[in-house]
A and B are shown apart, each in its own frame.
Chain A
Amino acid sequence: AQTIHQWPVAEIKAVGSPLSLGCTIKGKSSPNLYWYWQATGGTLQQLFYSITVGQVESVVQLNLSASRPKDDQFILSTEKLLLSHSGFYLCAWSLQDRASAETLYFGSGTRLTVL
């Protein structure tokens, strides 16, 4: 069975400090990977997607970056946090095969508070 693990569960960080959020998918090779973000009271929106190792596409510009160092790992990071980065971050995966790519599967998320 496939599992998706996000870390940390929650973070409280200072403005201007660096950030690194992680996501690991086990039990599925070569998945599509995604980062979603939800501001408090806002709509979930896609930030990044990746269809292969080393390749990441940005969907929304939020002064964040993402990397896929391994097939099963997706990292979201920034060197300087802004107050507007606060919110809830979700990692997700889907199948590569378009014919059977029915849905996205989400992790349990990371709650980020920037002070």
Chain B
Amino acid sequence: GQQVQQSPASLVLQEGENAELQCNFSTSLNSMQWFYQRPGGSLVSLFYNPSGTKHSGRLTSTTVIKERRSSLHISSSQTTDSGTYLCALEFYGSSGNKLIFGIGTLLSVKP
């Protein structure tokens, strides 16, 4: 089955509203990463978060390993936040790092 599940699949907000994106995983892992995928496809790393809470500007990531979940909170959303947000489980070992991605949450922020 799917190892990484993201919800919601899509989200439409009015500018200024907050967003909560969820990522649930079904396997143990080394860490969790959140990415923003630009409409052209390139990735922007938002958080490397193995556990606990991290902040970056209007973004907050919280990972609770024992509950197998991670969340991304976007406060005071802006139209430039529109795009796809991906979470990925990270495993690393003798074969290097491996990321298993979720399908993403498509965020649309209206002016």
Q: Which residues of A contact B (CB under 8 A)?
A: 32, 34, 36, 38, 42-46, 49, 51, 57, 59, 88, 90, 94, 98, 101-109, 111
Contact = CB atoms under 8 A, between A and B. Distances in A.
A49 B102 contact: no
Interface of B: 31, 33, 40-43, 45, 48, 86, 88, 90, 92-93, 95-99, 101-104
Contacts of B48: 102-103
Contact of B98 (A46, A107, A111): A46
A34 B41 contact: no
A38 B99 CA distance: 13
Contacts of B104: 43
Contact of B45 (A98, A101, A103, A108): A103
Contacts of A36: 99
Given A43-B102, A43-B103, A102-B48, A51 B86 contact: no
Nearest to B97: A94
Contacts of B97: 32, 34, 94, 101, 103-104
Contacts of B95: 49, 51, 57
Given A103-B33, A103-B45, A103-B48, A44 B101 contact: yes
Contact of B43 (A32, A90, A102): A90
A43 B41 CA distance: 12
A106 B43 contact: yes
A111 B41 contact: yes
B99 to A, nearest CB: 6
Given A44-B88, A90-B43, A109-B43, 8 more contacts: A34-B96, A42-B103, A49-B98, A98-B92, A101-B92, A104-B90, A106-B45, A108-B42
Contacts of A105: 45
User: Which residue, of B40, B48, B86, has the highest number of chain A Cβ atoms within 10 A?
Assistant: B40
